[in-house]
Amino acid sequence: MNSSPQKFEDLSATGDVDGGSLTVEQAIANLESEDLGLRFYAAWWLGRFRIGEPAAVTGLIKALEDEADRTPEGGYPLRRNAARALGKLGDRQAVSPLIACLDCSDFYVREAAAQSLEMLGDPVCIPALIKLLAVGLQAEQLVSQQPDLSQPYEAILEALGTLRATEFIPLVKPFLEHPIELVQYAAARAMYQLTEEPAYGERLVKALAGERLQLRRAVLADLGAIGYLPAADAIAQTLAENSLKLISLKGLLEHQVNYVTPSTLSEGAIKVINLMDSLL
């Protein structure tokens, strides 16, 4: 099973996508096209360029039930793109349809739905996410058959952390021992958000020294998402692209700025700014 889509997808975009190749009206109309390729691209385009017009939202929600675009393995490519786009548009009309997508037979539709529900931030989706998480548990322990790849646990755990589902900490914590590193990191990220205990942030900092670049990249995103300030030096020194380290540090800085008055900067914020300057 492949890992989830790159966490830095939009933040690291270089602007080389030709947004002028399509108009808003064309993209919305193409969601109804008989050409499946046009429909697939339109859903991606509307999300990529954050086209939040009511007709776009309505068209994308309708695409979540598409039956025409199927892969030989039974996947739903258009549904996946539509689910991802709806999270980026920020319209909470999409919450209930995305919750329904958590029952889709396509693993990647469920993953995209969980990621978008995290972005939309409505806690009404928590019970549905917990239902999926519980598939991997027996009596609050990981199922015996491992690795369990039946559900997008990484996306589910990240969403539960962002949504502050503190009442479900006992169901999140077992995934710290999941055999897949990305799932472990997602669990550590969520546990930090749910408990604010430094041990979980330090677990992610330690992972920055891992051998695999793909995993270091993922941890950079996790640390930026939780704003774990003690990780600042380790982030700056990580063997990874400076662009990704800057994005991670930007996450730390945003968390620091949220805790001070607009006219002042904390020592932590100043430190992060200096580290970012050193990477430019």
User: pLDDT tens digits, residue range 106-124?
Assistant: 999 999 999 999 999 999 9
- 3-class DSSP state for residue 142? strand
- State the pTM of this model: 0.91
Helical pair 213-226 and 153-162, crossing angle rounded to 10 deg: 20
pLDDT attached to residue 1: 45
pLDDT attached to residue 167: 98
Q: Domains in the chain, start-ordered, CATH in brackets?
A: 24-120 (1.25.10.10), 123-140+148-196 (no CATH), 210-279 (no CATH)
1 by Cβ neighbours in 10 Å (0-12 / 13-18 / 19+) ranks as: exposed
Helical pair 181-195 and 153-162, crossing angle rounded to 10 deg: 10
C-beta separation of 248 from 224 below 8 A: yes
pLDDT attached to residue 64: 98
pLDDT attached to residue 12: 40
Q: Hey, which residues does 142 pair with through a beta bridge?
A: 137
Residues of the chain with pLDDT under 50: 1-6, 10-16
Q: Measured over all CA atoms, what is the biggest interatomic distance in the chain, rounded to whole angstroms?
A: 57
- Burial string for 256-277 (b: 16+ CB within 10 Å, else e) reads bbeeeeeeebeebbebbeebbe
Quote the distance between the C-alpha of residue 270 and its chain's center: 28
